[in-house]
Amino acid sequence: MAANKINNLKCVLPETNYKPRPLPDELKSLPDRVSAALRDKTIFITGGSGFLGKVLIEKILRKTPDVKKIYILLRAKKGKEPRQRIDDIFSSPLFDMLKSMRGTEIISRVEPINGDVTLPNLGISPEDRETLCKEVEIVYHGAATIRFDEPLHKAVLLNTRGTKYMLDLAKEMKKLQLFVHISTSYCHLQEKVLYEKAYPPPADPHKIIRACELLEEDLIEKISKRLLGHFPNSYAYTKCLSEGLVVEATENGLPTIILRPSIVIPIWIEPLPGWTDNINGPTGLLIGAGKGVIRTMYCNNQGYADYLPVDIAVNGIILSTWNYLGRGDTEHKIAHLTSSMEWQVSWQEIIDLGKEIVSEKIPLNNCVWYPGGSMKRSKLLHQICVIFFHMIPAYFLDTIIFLSGNKPVLCRVQERINKGFEVFEYYANNQWEFKNEHVHLLRKVMNKRERFEYKVDGEDMDLRKYFEDCILSTRLYILKEMPDTLPAARKHMRMMYWVDVIAKLMFFAFMFWCFTSWTGPLIAIVSQFFHFLTSLFSSEYSASSENVSIKDL
């Protein structure tokens, strides 16, 4: 049954989801120097089970099938050993194109290394450590917690100390040619214009790591606000500290580059348009708005954030590797993988386009209200709307759910949304400019085939189609809403439209009734008050006139 439903995807999703883009005949004679830079290389990846990590592995295996080996740092999770987790990773539809092109045996090129970046020395066994030190030539370090509300103690041990342990390991690698640190463009937030250069960390990373190792977590949390300073969350702070460690290692002779991608969003072109495996960032907003549970946001609607489709980010990572190893460009050690210098999509455009698609073409199942609402520039007005349009309806519907014998969920959903707002509002109401000359350099040195195979521009992006792919894929892969439920979802959405219209009419009718009910008595009171004032002033005037007449006589 499930297999039949998944097969129905071919009736809904674009054909490009199952076939690679055909390489134009005129480009076939040109060399792919980027792929050649990874040929016969042994690669070690941390964060390989994450969103960006999976797409990176897929792209390397698809474009460079003769890569020698890819080691992935994985820990046992939910009772599954690393080898089982590798199988789970490759069972994703993300790898269907790869397996159809290269065969399932390509998976044997990927081997797990049992370990954990939060553990001392990464938790790697002496035998595995020796293997890595003997064989690895390229390291992609992308492991990090991306939870912005992560306790500072945990974020330091994972993001910053984990980077220190990775650098220590890299220093022991006998064949190491390049250490690629995946950072973020949003880690030096005090800089409104960010250049592709190193910035000093807010504190000594080694001292912060040592403090977190010696002190209890609750004590660190008590002083976290003082440690964070102007940083809005532990993620930005610890990623900034991590960069400081990489810069230090670079100065000591380790071959490194730092890449700063912006907000990574679902796949644009290949291998699976719209695919994602999480609800972070804009995807979560689309789901919340599409389900009708997000109806207000505190945001400058004409502002914009910097977004980058994950396949474009991965292309930038691979191209930067080629630029360092294949072209020998060791001068450009820090690069921004960003889009806002060329593409600026306002929050209002995102909301309007998403609302239109989920309400008309690709609705989500069981929405609790018709998608609507707006962005507010006034925080007070936003908070009032949260009470009336988020919390009160959540409590009301949860009461109905509870009385029907089911477990209430909407209040918990709203609590999570409110926590998300705390992070979102800082980024939505501030603006940064990211210089990205490195990407422009790469475009100039690539040949036409490489520009086609490793696209790092948005010249032919159809924003509407991209949003449709994102919503359709989110509907299927995140919410598990199969294509055959679309007709029922559209019918439900039409019903919710009329419910929304009727509710608004009833609301305005009630307001009109209140107005007319109170207007009559209010007019009478005001009329009597003015009559009283008129009488009072008339009496005083008459008395005054009479006094004047008597005096004159």
How far the first Cα of the chain sits from its last, in Å, is 113
pLDDT of the residue at 5: 45
Joined together, the tokens standing for residue 521 give 């008595």
Enter the pTM of the model.
Answer: 0.87
pLDDT in tens, 465-474: 999 999 999 8
The SS3 of residue 444 is helix
pLDDT of the residue at 493: 87
pLDDT in tens, 217-251: 889 888 988 999 889 889 999 999 999 999 999 99
Q: If you search the block for the tokens 């489709």, which residue do you land on?
A: 309
Half-sphere exposure of 319 (CA within 13 A, CB side): 27
pLDDT of the residue at 16: 43
pLDDT of the residue at 94: 94
Rg (CA), the chain: 30
Joined together, the tokens standing for residue 202 give 């807010």
pLDDT in tens, 341-356: 888 888 888 888 888 8
Q: How far is CA 238 from CA 75, 150, 435, in A?
A: 22, 11, 22
Residue numbers of the chain with a pLDDT score lower than 70: 1-18, 518-553
Neighbours of 457 (CB within 10 A): 15
